[in-house]
Structures are given as C-alpha cells and as structure tokens.
C-alpha cells in the first residue's frame, strides 16, 4: 500500500534520513522504533508532505505521492502528530469535525463521528468540552479520533503513548488494535518499543537515519541485540 524507497531528508546540513526503505501492506500495523533523534518523526513528516525530501520516492497504492499535505489527506493518509496539536480553544466535537474538513459526504462524516464516539466513549461524554481542558490522555484520544475523521486508509501515529500513565498506554494500544479491525492500515512510531513490537505485523529499527533491522514484531522482540538496546533485557 505504501512504499518508501531510498528516502533522503536534510535539514540544512543535517542528513536526517539516509536512504530509508519501508514497505507497508494493506491491513498491517507497521511499527518504527528508534532512539531520540533517529529520524522517526522526520519519516512520518516526509510521508505527509510536512517536510520535503531530496531524494527517493514514496508510492501510495502504486502512485507517486504528491508532496502537498492536503492532497495527501485527500489521497487517504492521515497523521496524528506527536504532542497531539489539538485546537485547544475549540470543543471536542469541533476538533473532530476539523478532521473531516475536506469531506463532502455529510452522511459518511456523521457515520464516522459515531464510530469515533464508539471507539472513545469518553469523547462522547465530552462533546461540548473545550479541548484544552481535557486531560493529556483524553487529548491523545481526541487527536486519534480527529485523525480518523478524514476517513483515511492509512493512519500515521507519532508517539501515541508519550507521557501517558501505564493504564492509559494499555488502553491506547488496545484502541490501535481496534482501529486495525476497522480495516485501516497503521504506521506507528513509538519509543515504547515493547508495546510497539507486540502489536506490529512488521517492524523496523531506525538508527541515525538508517533502517538497521526489519522483521515481524515477534522476531524483533526475540532478537538479542534489540532486547538489549531497546527493551532493556538481555
């Protein structure tokens, strides 16, 4: 569904991605793990056109992806950015509707809104609450819900568990599985390597702008070098 080939991204003189290849099949959860500064967010931002790449290509369903963000959303890709970036002064419902701003199919939008409320009952209870007053975990749920409102085929999640209490981390990962069962494809970037590998059909390890390992989530969990470097086990 999505093929990233030989991707190179620079920030001025910093060579942040150095020939990255990633292949995502429809219906999969694909996780990217890596240390701080490895280039994980850069990869997601390059896919969604938030930053430009210098070399390589990104193919979505066999077609070269435009580098223009709203065209990428229209093509069926949605990003839930790190740090949530919700609209703090708008209500929960208005935030969700912002996710659907490109859509003209009003009945489809209403259906998806209903699905988001089913997925996140807490959002349903707080439709009119100002988003800035939600707890951190609730804001994360809202950000994911908003990401779903564009009706994406592929959803990119950047550090969804960042800063959440353990119980909520568990809930968020359960929800990611539920989203997969809604027939979506998921690219997940996470520092919580164990959780990210546990739910991944396929996973990649990014180090200093390069993919250094790939395999199924299970294979990588069992890999001694991954255990030592990312899972704190040997």
Q: Residues interacting with ligand ATP, by CB under 6 A?
A: 11, 14, 16, 34, 36-42, 191
Least distance to ligand ATP, CB of residue 177, Å: 23
What does each C-alpha distance from 26 to 17, 142, 187 come to in angstroms? Answer: 24, 25, 11
Least distance to ligand ATP, CB of residue 106, Å: 37
Least distance to ligand ATP, CB of residue 11, Å: 3
The smaller minimum CB distance to ligand ATP, of residues 137 and 209, is found at 209
The smaller minimum CB distance to ligand ATP, of residues 73 and 189, is found at 189
Least distance to ligand ATP, CB of residue 124, Å: 31
Least distance to ligand ATP, CB of residue 70, Å: 21
The smaller minimum CB distance to ligand ATP, of residues 39 and 109, is found at 39
The smaller minimum CB distance to ligand ATP, of residues 21 and 153, is found at 21
* Separation of alpha carbons 196 and 214, rounded Å: 13
Quickly list H helices, 131-216.
Answer: 136-148, 166-181, 193-199
* Separation of alpha carbons 15 and 7, rounded Å: 11
The smaller minimum CB distance to ligand ATP, of residues 11 and 106, is found at 11
The smaller minimum CB distance to ligand ATP, of residues 28 and 192, is found at 192
Least distance to ligand ATP, CB of residue 123, Å: 26
Q: Which two tokens stand for residue 82?
A: 């790190």
């Amino acid at each position: 569904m999505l093929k990233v080939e030989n991707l190179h991204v620079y920030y001025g003189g910093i060579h942040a991605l150095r020939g990255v290849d990633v292949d995502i099949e429809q219906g999969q959860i694909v996780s990217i793990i890596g240390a701080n500064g490895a280039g994980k967010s850069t990869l997601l931002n390059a896919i969604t056109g938030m930053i430009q790449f210098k070399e390589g290509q990104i193919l979505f369903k066999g077609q070269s992806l435009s580098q223009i963000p709203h065209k990428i959303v229209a093509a069926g890709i949605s990003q839930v950015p790190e740090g949530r970036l919700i609209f703090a002064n708008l209500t929960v419902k208005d935030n969700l509707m912002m996710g659907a701003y490109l859509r003209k199919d009003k009945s489809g939008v209403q259906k998806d809104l209903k699905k988001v409320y089913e997925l996140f009952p807490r959002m349903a209870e707080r439709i009119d609450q100002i988003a800035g007053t939600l707890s951190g975990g609730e804001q994360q749920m809202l950000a994911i819900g908003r990401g779903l409102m564009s009706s994406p085929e592929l959803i990119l999640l950047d550090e969804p568990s960042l800063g959440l209490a353990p119980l909520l981390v568990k809930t968020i990962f359960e929800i990611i599985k539920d989203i997969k069962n809604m027939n979506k494809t998921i690219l997940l970037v996470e520092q919580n390597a164990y959780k990210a590998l546990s739910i991944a059909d396929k996973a990649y390890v990014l180090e200093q702008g390069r993919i250094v390992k790939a395999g199924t989530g299970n294979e990588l969990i069992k890999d001694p070098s991954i255990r030592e470097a990312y899972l704190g086990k040997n």
